Structure 1
């Protein structure tokens, strides 16, 4: 019985194994409908995980496999290196699928592909990934209904009169043998199959990588991003898919919660490859820019010294007694005068605008007030420049 499939461009890796495992617990009716194929649930009734996984030596090793073992109690077994006979049933099914599709499949690569003068079968390809997946689904349904001629004899099975096809044997085994299957929530399985990393909360959010922080409603409600005296920032486990970092899953009190990047995070770093490339690019740019940055700093220092030198020479000419305490008097009044002069210089009225007529309630009072202000300014200026008039 084919419990799950995955068709994609990923090579043999945990990423492709993850997609196949997720398909084991997926609703096959909905899955097939995505590719334009209508089936009934009894044609492909698998929605569970097994008790034991048998995989290649490299794909199911590491932290991800340990998460499956710890959370769901599933045993992981690996075949020996370069020993295809360790999982002969699977390898034989691949060959059966090739034989099934070869006669009609445009672009199917034959053994003479690399021979001199041989035909380049790749140029005959017509199907896209979605169409090819639909063919695999059709092949899987056909396989699950195919009669097994050399199935191991079982007296109870023989007495039941069950047709020995993979799908009927599956149904009979679930009913009479209970089977060693596990019902697992799909979202929890998704998180368990992802990569995991311990991260700490901060004022900016949960930091997964440099310049990439995450937030979620639960964090705001629990106050994870607030630090107070005697209180340390919380440290949590994050599950993420390196191929797409636009969403991660935070494990808190045994459950996974979806988190998204904060508004200040670098949106161009939603993929792990981009993160690595972007960080290396910034390092190279910073290294190459050091000489330019040093030259700019030297030029700025020289300009600063020149301005100060010129200003000091001019001040020495104008100021007779630099240390005289009289220079500190009337600082506030002098500031107001300079502010008025500066405002006049910075004034920039619109060229095409016409001055609006201002009507005062008491024209005489307004006129007198203006004259008083002007007279005070005139006196302050005269006092500053030691003039009598």
Structure 2
């Protein structure tokens, strides 16, 4: 049985649920947190007792998750993120002081120090610890429950009475803060505080009063006199406004300079002293382009280029803990799959590629304490969810320091040199000479077959590869541990740190997906020109509301490799719903985002091209119409003039005569081209002729005679 951080141990008899917070080096003991108790005190447990209890079916071990663990950062409001970050900055040093924070006597002194530094009561910190531990030790534990609080949507009036705690002493400064006061605060901060003179906030407050809240003294015009106390903001009010509106990054740059900020004050998501070294203390991730050309799975005569391979490797044991083979990247899409695979069940993963293995051959389904990247994908916004949702510290190697990722770089060299170089279609630099054989034409493997080969290589490497270059510790040498990744992995779990953590596979996949905003419209949930729907949207009449009112935006996560489904986040309970393509948008099922965008651009280009020919045809149509109109106007010239009244009064008669004439013309054409005896409309024409006036009968006879003569 594997007991690691974030596993939940359930007492079968009592139902008591305890969350594992920390495991000591050597796995002799650890601390867990009773989720059913209100004592807010971690409890020490002996590993041997728990193992024996599990063997006798007294304990059940299961993964642990909470709503905030599975929530993307874009789901939270700016106000919620500010609150979370403020609390985290205050308590981070305490919660990372492991294992002292779990010891009652040491915990008291740790919290006392934090309380003194932040001017709060130590007792208030215990509630924060409780939230942090119950949440699975992640930063998102401190997202406030604004949805559960009253007053939503209600404005607070600030014109009659000073808001906040009333002063204990009369005559002290303090007033109702207005927009004018806030402008004064901002002007003073900009003028005095945001400069490299590094004036203190207290001195800035004094300059604020000097500039905006004084008048000349009547007794001595050369001196200034403060306004009445009730008309002057207090330092506490000024301090509070500054803490709410400050831009820490801009402030540090203005006060220290750009270079000093980058050197001493820039954000560092990682932490060098990340704890005791061991499996899971740090994983490394990187990508390389495979030195082999592949063919298409659908038409093996088509070459599709070289694959992109991602590996995730444990820095302690050199164990490959995650991998992916694809055609994207190097990009976040490839890194996303490798990170998701890092926490996946490898038996199931290998089975997808028709490879049967045992759990013991690849026992890696954990997330690390820290993840070292290469200033590419790990610096993107998408990586923030790894920090906030899963509590992984992101460490980026600085420029020109590839040596910090030497472990994974060596692994790529091993794979490309010893395995890929022997495959058909592999890159051979010496064959690029003029007249030489083109090695690309030798390609025979598709991407699925190549992935099978890489999995086989990883299994060999993890279980059998002896690393002569590996520097063993004294303890390893004493225990005669072989420098094989899987043996180092098991030895490290038994004797070193408890840095490995376990999370549900679905949670990790959601954490690595990119997040974006989609729009609810009357036609569906629109994202990148594609429309989706969900059971919740239909149940709550989203589309009817959007059609009758106006559209609105929602937060989603999506997999750019397959846009069949997207995942929409619920602001209230921080859960998510699966959104599927609408039937009329089914042509996009199974397609990646790049394919969809390409097709949309192609259709737009075609539309623009057709628009040109359509416009040209419309121009010609207008010209032909103008020609006919001009001809008609010329035909009307030189005719006898009639008065307006005469022309208007004869419209009805003229229309009747024109209709009769048209009937006669049409009837004559039919008589000339058809068989009158067989014409089914003869009796109608005879009836019409009887109703003709004498004049029309004469015109008809003359017309018939003319046609006979011709």
Find the counterpart in structure 2 of residue 260 from structure 1.
Answer: 581
Find the aligned partners of 1:234 and 1:100 in 2 and give their Cα distance. Answer: 55
Deviation at 1:139, TM superposition (A): 1.4
Q: For 2:356, which of 24, 38, 48 is the aligned residue?
A: 38
Find the counterpart in structure 1 of residue 505 from structure 2.
Answer: 185
Find the aligned partners of 1:128 and 1:24 in 2 and give their Cα distance. Answer: 24
Normalising by structure 1, what TM-score?
A: 0.69
Find the aligned partners of 1:27 and 1:3 in 2 and give their Cα distance. Answer: 11
Deviation at 1:46, TM superposition (A): 1.2
Find the aligned partners of 2:587 and 2:620 in 1 and give their Cα distance. Answer: 28
Q: For 1:24, which of 342, 365, 381 is the aligned residue?
A: 342
Find the aligned partners of 1:282 and 1:68 in 2 and give their Cα distance. Answer: 42
Q: Which runs of 4+ in 1 moved over 4 A?
A: 115-120, 161-164, 228-232, 264-270, 303-310, 319-324
Find the counterpart in structure 1 of residue 616 from structure 2.
Answer: 292
Q: Is contact 1:246-1:261 (8 Å) kept? A: no
Find the aligned partners of 2:434 and 2:474 in 1 and give their Cα distance. Answer: 50
- Pick closer, same or farther for the CA change 1:106–1:89 going to 2, 3 Å: same
Find the counterpart in structure 2 of residue 214 from structure 1.
Answer: 532
State the SS of the aligned residue for 2:411. helix
Q: For 2:455, which of 110, 134, 137 is the aligned residue?
A: 137
Deviation at 1:21, TM superposition (A): 1.4
Q: For 2:597, which of 258, 261, 272 is the aligned residue?
A: 272
- Pick closer, same or farther for the CA change 1:231–1:41 going to 2, 3 Å: same
Find the aligned partners of 1:235 and 1:29 in 2 and give their Cα distance. Answer: 40
Find the aligned partners of 1:260 and 1:307 in 2 and give their Cα distance. Answer: 57
1:7 is aligned to 2:325:
yes
Q: Is contact 1:250-1:259 (8 Å) kept? A: no
User: Which whole-Å deviations, capped at 9, do the CAs of 1:147-186 have from their partners, x for residues lacking one?
Assistant: 455333337x956x76553223333444553223241432
Find the aligned partners of 1:303 and 1:193 in 2 and give their Cα distance. Answer: 66
Find the counterpart in structure 1 of residue 395 from structure 2.
Answer: 77
Find the counterpart in structure 1 of residue 373 from structure 2.
Answer: 55
Which one has more relative contact order, counting CA pairs under 8 Å at least 6 apart?
2
Alignment of structure 1 residues 83-232 onto 2, 5 Å: 83-101=401-419, 104-115=422-433, 120-146=438-464, 147-148=466-467, 150-154=471-475, 158=478, 165-174=484-493, 177-186=497-506, 188-210=507-529, 212-227=530-545, 232=550
User: Which whole-Å deviations, capped at 9, do the CAs of 1:55-95 have from their partners, x for residues lacking one?
Assistant: 22222222211233232222222223454312000011112
Q: Is contact 1:213-1:265 (8 Å) kept? A: no
State the SS of the aligned residue for 1:183. coil
Deviation at 1:111, TM superposition (A): 4.5
1:282 is aligned to 2:607:
yes
Find the aligned partners of 2:331 and 2:633 in 1 and give their Cα distance. Answer: 68
Please provide the CA RMSD for this pair.
Answer: 5.0
Deviation at 1:127, TM superposition (A): 3.0
Q: Is contact 1:249-1:256 (8 Å) kept? A: yes
Find the aligned partners of 1:91 and 1:61 in 2 and give their Cα distance. Answer: 19
Aligned length: 356
Q: Is contact 1:197-1:239 (8 Å) kept? A: yes
- Pick closer, same or farther for the CA change 1:202–1:124 going to 2, 3 Å: closer
Q: Is there any run of 5+ residues in structure 1 with no aligned partner, and where?
A: 329-379
State the SS of the aligned residue for 1:7. strand
Find the counterpart in structure 2 of residue 234 from structure 1.
Answer: 552
Q: Is contact 1:246-1:260 (8 Å) kept? A: yes
Find the aligned partners of 1:24 and 1:308 in 2 and give their Cα distance. Answer: 81
Find the aligned partners of 2:350 and 2:586 in 1 and give their Cα distance. Answer: 37
